[in-house]
Structure 1
Amino acid sequence: MYEKLYGFKERPFSMLPDPSFLYLGEKHSAAFALLEYGLMSKAGFTVITGEVGSGKTTLVRHLLNQTHNDVTVGLISNTHEDMGHLLKWVLLAFNQKYDYDCQVALYDAFRRFLIDQYAEYRHSVLIIDEAQNLQPKVLEELRMLSNINADKHLVLQLILVGQPQLREQLSSPGLLQFRQRISVRYHLPALSEDDTLAYIRHRIHCAGCENELFTKGAIDIIYQASEGIPRAINLLCDTALVYGYAKKRLSIDAEIIQAVLADIEESISPQRQNMATDRQDADAKEAVTLPSSESVPKVCKLTEFDKDTARQLFGNTLKKY
């Protein structure tokens, strides 16, 4: 919709993970370096955690794009609590077909696959995204699978990526043996204020626009509202560009961001809810005064997809339209 007005080759703030737009600030660079180290050093287990929308999946996809030819990667990205047929999921992750349900036969098929990979001097890595959904029983099954060996060499490496709850799960007494196998762990924090500015500009430039479309005042409000979570930043920026397009604005200022926040209402964050009361000077209070939703063109109203995304990121208190 707005690409032509702002000179984009594509939308810069898509909600979908896209490694080509990856911004490697200090914290994301550290996380990626540890992922890469865990992969190349054949460390036992690697665990990366972070809040919803912090960029974990994008890092994983970037890692997959960087893997060497001697690495065979299996990816499970749609985990859920009822993973009762773990071996079937694992075999599918490595593109291995099966036509039986017997657990012993499934285990033997996977064992033979790993041994064959090892014989061909290939390293097998199983990456599990959204690993916080796995039950302790499934995590223990994964540990047992990682015990498969050839010539006393372990032939399967695990990389678990998940939300902060994963750390709590792994701290339970019943998973002591699993914890002892973790060689690399890192928690991916939110972006800093400076990184938020750099992140927005990076994605704009990657999309083909050399202009600094967002004013510093706009970015300040985006940072406060998003609390530095990349997916939340994307939602705010993408919606703001739609608003700017509707109003034929060539730059995105604080007023437009305030209009976006008016649509998302009080669901952004506790920090934003108290922003006006925490600031004492009149100018700051005026800066966060939100316009009436009626002033927003209908073309700019949030889509159902955006509303669902906002609910996931910010809660369930969006205004109903």
Structure 2
Amino acid sequence: MYQDFFRLSESPFAIVPNPKFYFLSERHKEALSHVLSGIEDGGGLALLTGEVGTGKTTTMKALLERMPEQSQVATILNPSVSVLELMQTLCDEMGIEYARDDGFKPLNDAISAKLHDNDQQGIQTILLVDEAQHLMPDVLEQLRLLTNIETSQRKLLKVILIGQPELQEMLRQQHLRQLAQRITARYHLMPLTAQEVRQYILHRLSCADRLDPLFDDGAFKVIARDSGGIPRLINLVCDQSLKMAHRDSKQRITAKIATKASKEVLHWQSVSSHSERHGFMRYWPVYLGAIGGAALLAVAIRWGLDGNTSPAPTVANINTAPQVQTERVPAPTVK
């Protein structure tokens, strides 16, 4: 839509994880290093976690490009599978023939034979599991058992689990402690810093063949602040900023444009907190009155417990309702 207007060869801020636009921040470099080292030297399990939009899937694609030459990589992108389906998927990914009615043992034996055959040929077998927080506990346990296939020097199946922070919570459960102990490398992706946000935007623009300035300094600051350094949110704000600037025939993205774009695409993020703040400010007199009344009542109760019969002047006015005068009716005489 706006590529020709801004002299871009393609859209630089699409949210599709394109390795061409992959930005190696210091955090992402560390992530790649940790994960790759975790499956070397005999290690069997590595863990990469991060909040939504921090670039885990893109990191996985970068990992695929950096795998050793002599390696066979199997990927599981939809981890909502049973144990049997996991074994079948592994066979599919590794090119193992099997019958659809094969049970667990034939599948396990076929996978074990393939792993040993790869090892004899000097081929490293690696399994990448994306969105691993959706794995069922019994499937996670089966992955641990598969990493038990080994020689005296190394594991024959290396597993990399990639997922959201909930995956860390899962692995803290008592019944998964054996799996957690097998993890030789862990890394949690953090959001980009303000300086990295600037570098990230410039990098993606250069990948789309735009080398001269397009965003003002103020725009960089707005995007870094409002996105929280989350790459996916940065992409959303930048893409919307370009659309708005193109619509208004503006050649530069200013702080004003970035602010408006941010409000349009990120408003859903702050709806809850904004509503809570607004509600408190609106009803603070009610809250204050309730707190004050509770405090006075507590004083009155304490006064009574202490046995002091003299009236408390501040408590006496709590009940301000008018007193209703009633006429005394004599009780009937029983004859």
Q: In the alignment, residue 202 of structure 2 is paired with which amino acid?
A: R
Q: Look up the match of 1:22.
A: 22
How far the C-alpha of 1:81 sits from its partner, in A, is 6.3
How far the C-alpha of 1:126 sits from its partner, in A, is 0.6
Q: Look up the match of 1:303.
A: none
Q: Look up the match of 1:32.
A: 32
How far the C-alpha of 1:38 sits from its partner, in A, is 2.2
Distance in 1 separating the partners of 2:218 and 2:170: 40
Distance in 2 separating the partners of 1:50 and 1:204: 25
How far the C-alpha of 1:262 sits from its partner, in A, is 3.5
Does residue 210 of structure 1 match 2:211?
yes
How far the C-alpha of 1:6 sits from its partner, in A, is 1.3
Distance in 1 separating the partners of 2:233 and 2:93: 30
Runs of at least 5 residues in structure 2 that lack an aligned partner in the other structure = 279-335
Q: In the alignment, residue 3 of structure 2 is paired with which amino acid?
A: E
Equivalent residues of 2:130, 2:162 under 8 A apart: yes
Q: Deviations over 1:29-49 (max 9, x none)?
A: 111111222244342210010
Q: Look up the match of 1:280.
A: none
Equivalent residues of 2:116, 2:156 under 8 A apart: yes
Q: TM-score, normalised by structure 1?
A: 0.80
Distance in 2 separating the partners of 1:56 and 1:124: 21
Runs of at least 5 residues in structure 1 that lack an aligned partner in the other structure = 278-321
Cα RMSD, aligned residues only:
2.2
Distance in 2 separating the partners of 1:75 and 1:25: 25
Q: Look up the match of 1:226.
A: 227
SS at match of 1:49: strand
Distance in 2 separating the partners of 1:49 and 1:251: 36
Q: In the alignment, residue 17 of structure 2 is paired with which amino acid?
A: P
**Matches for 1:129-278 after TM superposition, within 5 Å:** 129-150=130-151, 153-264=154-265, 266-269=267-270
Q: In the alignment, residue 221 of structure 1 is paired with which amino acid?
A: V
How far the C-alpha of 1:190 sits from its partner, in A, is 0.6
Distance in 2 separating the partners of 1:260 and 1:99: 54
Q: In the alignment, residue 194 of structure 1 is paired with which amino acid?
A: Q
Q: Look up the match of 1:118.
A: 119
Q: TM-score, normalised by structure 2?
A: 0.77
Q: Deviations over 1:158-209 (max 9, x none)?
A: 1101000000000111111101101000111011111111111111111110
Moved more, 47-56 or 234-243: 234-243
Q: Deviations over 1:239-291 (max 9, x none)?
A: 211111111111111222222234236313479959xx9xxxxxxxxxxxxxx
Distance in 2 separating the partners of 1:225 and 1:94: 44
Count of matched residue pairs: 276
Q: Look up the match of 1:98.
A: 98
Q: Look up the match of 1:314.
A: none
Moved more, 19-28 or 160-169: 19-28
Q: In the alignment, residue 148 of structure 1 is paired with which amino acid?
A: I
Equivalent residues of 1:226, 1:269 under 8 A apart: no
How far the C-alpha of 1:109 sits from its partner, in A, is 1.4
Distance in 2 separating the partners of 1:186 and 1:269: 28
Equivalent residues of 2:47, 2:161 under 8 A apart: yes
